[in-house]
Structure 1
């Protein structure tokens, strides 16, 4: 489906009567306003549990949300659960039941092709590891002149640790057939049965299903909230790609030396930051040509990974699930944004922003331009690609140690997506925000002023009663079609 915007005359009236959420920023354009109002592409979804264990409770929750107008249920389809036993042996038994229960309640499906590990992150109450055969299958292979070995598919951090939560993007061409096989098996199983019930297929592009690097995950120490995290570009494949990309950009090692003020005598001397702490504390990532080039490559590698996986899934699906858009998720990495020691550094280590552009400008999406405009790389294709952004319920906490601009970031992201012609939908980051009116007020603000077209709530049990049910029903009554 293609986005339908609110007519200009209507939008003008809405903005005229708007509250502070729609006040024009001093250094930017007039905010988009409530583009979901009267828009047929408004969607109100809920997430299923990571794994359903109490089926009676699940059905009761579905009945409750269906009654007040929720559209669809987002369901993680865990790679490790379905194909974990052996390569190309798929067990769909659990999903047969989940999908049947959801659709029996009159709700649509928004499955997530979950090519990432479940377990070890905030809110995880279930564990599903990536298939063990995956690491073994490719250990003896070589790619780009690199012998993969035991850790060849995994990210390696600045601390020298490896992550098994998702396959690194620099190994996409090695494992792309695995994503293709899984997508085809899903399509073969459900393409006819749920042809009209699947309204979106979300594609996991990294840890927690998000387009990011595992920069604050368990394999490293001292990198969690609210630190800067850790760079994840030290695997042999990543280093080789950085060297190759840099030489291609400048044309010769001599030109690299001229740009960076270095005296390299061999391409192998081009490396990611050898002292990552100094790279950030000195602001080299912002103020030096080497630093900006490195961050550009790091961010660009992530976006290119997203394109490769999304394009593979879209091609594999073909004409099946004709009503389904394709979605990808971008996390709201909102902490350490104004930390004077390393402003915006956590967004850098997660791979979300460039620093070669003005990160304070609305014109660049405050650095998010490439991440947002990934969706536009598929213009003219068979399906619309939409982006989901998290943290809609959060406040700014612009003080130590958080230095968080969560609410502001939601505004920046929605505004830029709207101006780039990208359909943007939102999620809450943590369930706790759904239990307070303050959290819902922030969600309402995102819809009233900043271009969000839909909401997926984490999770269904949190909006089946109480404050969550009351406020979600109100949001749907405001933006949804008359039912």
Structure 2
């Protein structure tokens, strides 16, 4: 299913601008977009990827879907001869680095959140809420939806929908709208499972004061999260572990050795309690990671029910949390739900195999040596670890760059990581998505380097391998 890999090469896709579709549902700058997509086609690009924003499509009210602009985009891609990968983006846009566009969750969702913020939003230890993505512990909790639209009035006596039902209904409507081109033009549906569309917790965000390379904070303090934690602690025979998350895990901008929980015992703070590799730490991290995997399983299970048989490949995205990777605790990964937590990456891949979905992983443009050594970054080792986990479980893996770069060093690293890491039979990634189409990429010198990169990814030249 999806895009066939070129013989000996890796097909390249290009992520379209965040604002390709305006907040009122209009395809923006269509003539310029058509010209640029045509240039991508001539350069050998296989297709484009686009965020399909929940806050745009269902902006007018519950169950009121507007797919017109995205259908226009699919038609444009088809005329040019490009495939389209659609990212069903159930998160808000604007919290990620380099985001210059803001798309909130649908107004009727934010209204429901306002009535029950402690039950629908992730919260950190201080009680600060994240409005990037609805809490995974609320997946099956009915939201009180009160909207003034005629459709909502007609449905006045209908039962409230859960977030998971909202995601499923969105997918069903997408399938109906794109039925004639699913599997032919729209060859992949990547389903957002968290902030920035990634299966992770919102443990770091500039909007809450985080700065790179802070370890971030655990996001397990909303009402339902604490209920789940208490139940898990009782079940483990240690009810005293269920009152809260780790007390000594620091704050958003802490470094591992500033904390007792993440320290290797050599830092400024040493604590006899609550370390990540203690009995308590293994309990907490196992619960925290398993809850994330269970959320991915629920969302991707719904996606598989909807899209199986359409011919479109299903995938989810995993984040490249590479800072502090070269420490024993992998602190930044732990706060986002991965890393040394059990089940961690293997649990994610086992779930993907069970649901028949692929994985897209970020930070393929990065090398260890380009980061300051004191930050202990390890993007290369992290990518190898995730690829190895995917291979163990027989999961197709794709890659993308985390940050926009068009220098030769980044291109060579992308080719190296895409062509030779995976052991899935072809020796490379299923596909690569370049972030992103922009004015800078279209500059003559930059586009010439990009064309060389696409050619190298096709296997037509050595490309720095």
Q: TM-score, normalised by structure 1?
A: 0.78
Q: Are 1:38 and 2:13 matched, yes or no?
A: no
Offset at 1:285?
4.1
Distance 1:120 1:235, change over 3 A: same
Q: Are 1:301 and 2:291 matched, yes or no?
A: yes
Q: Are 1:353 and 2:339 matched, yes or no?
A: yes
Distance of 1:217 and 1:256 partners within structure 2: 32
1:440 to 411, 414, 419: 411
Distance of 2:281 and 2:132 partners within structure 1: 27
Distance of 1:336 and 1:286 partners within structure 2: 14
Offset at 1:415?
2.5
Which residue of the partner structure matches residue 230 of structure 2? 243
Distance 1:428 1:138, change over 3 A: closer
Which residue of the partner structure matches residue 140 of structure 2? 173
Structure 1: stretches of 5+ with no match in the other structure: 5-35, 141-148, 258-263, 358-366, 379-383
Structure 2: stretches of 5+ with no match in the other structure: 21-27, 142-162, 251-259, 264-269, 423-428
Distance 1:2 1:50, change over 3 A: closer
Distance 1:286 1:138, change over 3 A: closer
1:469 to 446, 451, 456: 451
Distance of 1:193 and 1:3 partners within structure 2: 14
Offset at 1:151?
3.6
Alignment RMSD, CA only? 2.5
Q: Does the 8 Å CA contact 2:88/2:190 hold for their aligned counterparts?
A: yes
Distance of 2:74 and 2:397 partners within structure 1: 26
1:63 to 30, 38, 47: 38
Which residue of the partner structure matches residue 289 of structure 1? 279
Between stretches 79-88 and 446-455, larger displacement belongs to 446-455
Offset at 1:466?
2.6
Distance of 2:49 and 2:380 partners within structure 1: 24
Which residue of the partner structure matches residue 280 of structure 1? 262
Distance of 2:39 and 2:318 partners within structure 1: 29
1:403 to 357, 370, 376: 376
Q: Deviations over 1:6-39 (max 9, x none)?
A: xxxxxxxxxxxxxxxxxxxxxxxxxxxxxx7836
Q: Which has the higher contact order (CA 8 A, sep 6+)?
A: 1
Which residue of the partner structure matches residue 329 of structure 1? 317
Distance 1:48 1:237, change over 3 A: same
1:115 to 79, 90, 96: 90
Q: TM-score, normalised by structure 2?
A: 0.80
Q: Which secondary structure does the structure 2 equivalent of 1:279 belong to?
A: coil
Q: Are 1:150 and 2:138 matched, yes or no?
A: no
Which residue of the partner structure matches residue 387 of structure 2? 414
Q: Deviations over 1:234-263 (max 9, x none)?
A: 111111111112323x2xxxx327xxxxxx
Q: Are 1:50 and 2:24 matched, yes or no?
A: no
Distance 1:356 1:426, change over 3 A: closer
Distance of 1:62 and 1:3 partners within structure 2: 18
Offset at 1:138?
6.4
Q: Does the 8 Å CA contact 1:157/1:230 hold for their aligned counterparts?
A: yes
Q: Which secondary structure does the structure 2 equivalent of 1:353 belong to?
A: coil
1:314 to 295, 299, 304: 304
Distance 1:168 1:478, change over 3 A: farther
Q: Which secondary structure does the structure 2 equivalent of 1:165 belong to?
A: strand
Offset at 1:453?
2.6
Offset at 1:272?
1.5
Which residue of the partner structure matches residue 216 of structure 2? 229
Q: Which secondary structure does the structure 1 equivalent of 2:261 belong to?
A: helix
Offset at 1:280?
2.8
Q: Deviations over 1:419-460 (max 9, x none)?
A: 32111110011112xx11111121122134311232011113
Distance of 2:302 and 2:456 partners within structure 1: 38
- 1:367-386 aligned at under 5 Å gives the runs 368-378=345-355, 384-386=356-358
